[in-house]
Amino acid sequence: MAEKKTTSKRKVSSKVAGQKTAPRCGLCGKKGKLTKTECCNQWICDDEDQYVLFSYARNSCHRNHSNYTLCAYHYNEGHEGDWRECKKCREAFETEMYVWYGTNEYNFVKLQNPPEFEPTRCAKCNAVIKLSEDAYSIKGGKYYCERCIAL
C-alpha cells in the first residue's frame, strides 16, 4: 500500500530525538500529540481537529495561538523583525485589541509595557464593552453593546 502524503508543514511529535522526556505544550503543559508553531517554533498541542466549526470555542491551543496572538498575525502577514517592535502590527488594531492580542494567555511571550487605553464604551448606554470578549455592533464608527443592539 502506498504511503499517504501530508501537505502540512507542521512538525508533529510525541517525543524529540535525544530527549529523555517528551516535550510539553508551552501553553497548557500537556504531553502527547504536539506540533511546533510556524511563527515562533514553540511546542504546542496539535489539536485543531478538536475545534467544532462556528462554535467559537477556545479549546484548541494551536488554534488559539494562531488566531488570537500578535505573534501569529505578524508571521502570517510576513512582517519583518520581532512582533513586539513591529509598527505594522501596532497600526493594524485598535489599542485595546492590540494589547489583548499581545498579552493574552495564548502567547508564549507577552508584550512588555503595553500601551494604555481608554475602555470602549457603548454609544447608547455608556457600558464598558470588552472587545475581546463581549458581543457588540459597530455603526457609523460607534460601538453598541449587546443589550442596546437588542433594543
Domain limits for position 127:
118-151
Q: How many domains does the chain have?
A: 1
Backbone torsions φ then ψ of 144, nearest 5 degrees = -130, 130
Answer yes or no: is 141 within a domain: yes
State pLDDT tens for residues 18-29: 556 779 999 999
Answer yes or no: is 136 within a domain: yes
Answer yes or no: is 143 within a domain: yes
Cell of 102: 499581545
Strands of 43-45's sheet in order across? 12-13, 34-36, 43-45
What local confidence, expressed as pLDDT, does residue 57 receive? Answer: 85
Answer yes or no: is 26 within a domain: no
- Percentage above 90 pLDDT, the chain: 75
Answer yes or no: is 43 within a domain: no
State pLDDT tens for residues 16-63: 455 567 799 999 999 999 999 999 999 999 998 888 888 888 889 999
Answer yes or no: is 147 within a domain: yes
Task: Give the chain's mean pLDDT.
Answer: 89
Backbone torsions φ then ψ of 82, nearest 5 degrees = -85, 135
For residue 32, the tally of other CB atoms under 10 A from its CB is 13
Answer yes or no: is 76 within a domain: no
**Euclidean distance between CA atoms 86 and 46, whole angstroms:** 28
Answer yes or no: is 87 within a domain: no
